Chains A and B, each alone.
Chain A
Amino acid sequence: MEKALMAFAAAMCVCGGCVTGIYEGKVAVQAVESIGKNPDAADKIQSMAIVGAAISETCAIYCLLVAFLIIFILGA
């Protein structure tokens, strides 16, 4: 029973990644749109989009780390 609850808690943690996925996709969409409007600035937009996506990804990484902690430290 305890193990099942831990697995459920870990699964709930990873749910936080869903929102990150949606909005990281939005970053890519905006980057593509603005490169289409202004192809000269492609280099700058590309590096900014990558950095923005990386920063917003931190949230999902934290969710994943908490899930790992639950599985490997609480569950061990």
Chain B
Amino acid sequence: MKLQTAFFTIIIITIAMAALLFYINKKLREFDPLSEPKGIVLLTIMYAEMIDNLVKGKTNEKVAKYLTPYIMTVAAYIFLCNIAGLFALETPTSNLSVTLVLAAITCVLIEVYSAKARGPKGYIKSWFEPFAPFVVLNIMSKISTLLSLSLRLFGNILSGGILMSVIYQMLGAISRYIPLIGDKLNVMGVIVAPVLHFYFDLFSGVMQAFIFITLTSSFIGKELPNK
């Protein structure tokens, strides 16, 4: 069986994330609650507060208690996956299998919270709303949620990667005209590419992770009563 290269990146990212979380856990345990937080402790507290406010704003308090840890993990994971290109690894989110799994988890969560909120009878009834033939359209709308969530993340990250490789080729062709070192070294690439990496990898990585978690929490919030 041939493994895709994204597989190894996923293992590396998982190990790195686990190491980071152990380090943060150790720091948080040593942290004295009465003193002023700084460094990584402050960052962690700000991150947790931000996600907590976001999820509470989209859903209610009771659901947010269980949903926030998952959303925090998924946001950190997607962000680390998106910036893997900066460390010369293949970006896992430019592989459709990875984003499809992430979107499938969201879809399962939506169904679970919908069933919890409506009860078993109301949940089965919700598939046939407003009347029986609409079951086809309801199923299609559930599939389209899955497709649009996964393809949005996949398309954005893949297009960033492909654009970067095209730009590198173009800059390499330009730098061949520079005498002495132009043949061996991509001089223009060294000068121009960092700015573009900042946009395509960092900015778009943060944006896509934020959009994914916002959409996940608002889709779940839509299924809850009185929201």
Contacts and interface: CB of A to CB of B under 8 A. Distances in A.
Interface in B169-227: 207, 210-211, 214-215, 218
Interface residues of B, number: 17
Nearest to A61: B155
Nearest to A51: B214
Contacts of B207: 50
A23 to B, nearest CB: 16
A41 interface: no
Q: Classify the interface of chain B: helix, strand, loop or mixed.
A: helix
B225 to A, nearest CB: 21
Contacts of A65: 151, 154-155, 158
Contacts, number: 38
B211 A61 contact: no
Nearest to B218: A51
Contacts of A8: none
A51 B215 contact: yes
Contact of A57 (B57, B152, B218): B152
A55 B148 CA distance: 9
B152 A54 contact: yes
Nearest to A57: B152
B214 A50 contact: yes
Interface string B47-70: 000000010010000000000000
B21 interface: no
Interface of A: 44, 47, 50-51, 54-55, 57-58, 61-62, 64-65, 68
Q: Which 5 pairs between the two chains have the least Cβ-Cβ distance?
A: A61-B155, A54-B211, A65-B155, A58-B148, A51-B214
